[in-house]
Structure 1
Amino acid sequence: MILALLLAAAAPARSQMELSVQAGTDYRAADAAMNVQYRATMAHMKQMGGLNAPDAQVGPSYRSALLASQRAWLGYRDAECAVEGYEFRGGTAEGMAGSQCLARLTRARTAQLRQMAVTK
């Protein structure tokens, strides 16, 4: 019984290539989820924009503000994750570290976008 538990608890060793592939897969899934949420949040912002028309005193519409925010965030995310990957620069883990960062920050942004779409 104890031997069976020990064997079940021991995870098989994984190669760096397998870990890197998994990190890339995780990032692509996070990015797809963020894009779905971005479209939903943009639709919400477009609806909110109809309630308060922008003018010189108020500033840009909700929609244009979200677009500018998303573009700036994408630049930040990509630069930040390049820095995190550089910890392993030239090594086999560089790509994995970058992809893990991309997935982590993208999931956090998805949560932010979800919160923005909550009607107040």
Structure 2
Amino acid sequence: MIRVLALAAMALLLAAPTADAQGRRPRSISEEVDRCPEPSNMGLMLCAAEAFDREDVRLNRVYRAALGRLKPAQQATLRAEQRRWIKERDTSCADWYDEAQNGRQGPIHGQVCAAELTRDRADELERMARPRRPR
């Protein structure tokens, strides 16, 4: 029980991206994880997992917004494209998770890979969901 509470507390501490001494946010998930306050493998994995979870929530939010701006036929196209993208993301990052090939930090790199690709896709969908300005 104490261990569960300790992990939950650590997850809360690591939940938000940390700013550097100048107050700048990290430019990449990798940079964010490098700034993780707990530099152990467990701490880095928690930071990477939190970054992925945050970007995944954001992706789902902007995906729904993008769907809402489309006609039914376009929605079907975006759904199919999104399913393909998820498979490609998972395939692209899968090799990182192999500890035998990449060592004990392989799973951390796998999480970072998935988080960065998810962030990039959310950025793309966010641009798609923005209302267009009349010319």
**Fold shared, TM-score > 0.5 on shorter chain:** yes
1-structure distance, mates of 2:99, 2:107: 10
1:113 to 125, 131, 134: 125
Which position in structure 1 is the counterpart of 2:94? 82
- Unmatched 5+ stretches in structure 2: 1-20, 22-34
Give the aligned CA root-mean-square deviation in angstroms: 2.4
1:94 aligns with 2:106: yes
1-structure distance, mates of 2:117, 2:74: 23
Matches within 5 A, 1:1-120: 14-45=39-70, 49=71, 61-86=73-98, 89=101, 91-120=103-132
Q: Secondary structure at the match of 1:89?
A: helix
Displacement, 1:85?
3.6
Kindly indicate which of the two structures has a greater share of residues assigned to helix: 1
Q: Which one has a bigger Cα radius of gyration?
A: 1
2-structure distance, mates of 1:30, 1:15: 23
Normalising by structure 1, what TM-score?
Answer: 0.72
Tell which deviates more after alignment, 80-89 or 104-113. 80-89
Indicate the structure whose relative CO is greater, using CA pairs within 8 Å and at least 6 residues apart: 1
Q: 1:114 to 1:88 in 2, by over 3 A?
A: farther
- Unmatched 5+ stretches in structure 1: 1-7, 51-60
Give aligned-pair identity as a percent.
33
Tell me how many residue pairs correspond in the alignment. 98
CA deviation digits over 1:1-50, x for unaligned, max 9? xxxxxxx9xx87711111111101110111011001111111111xxx27
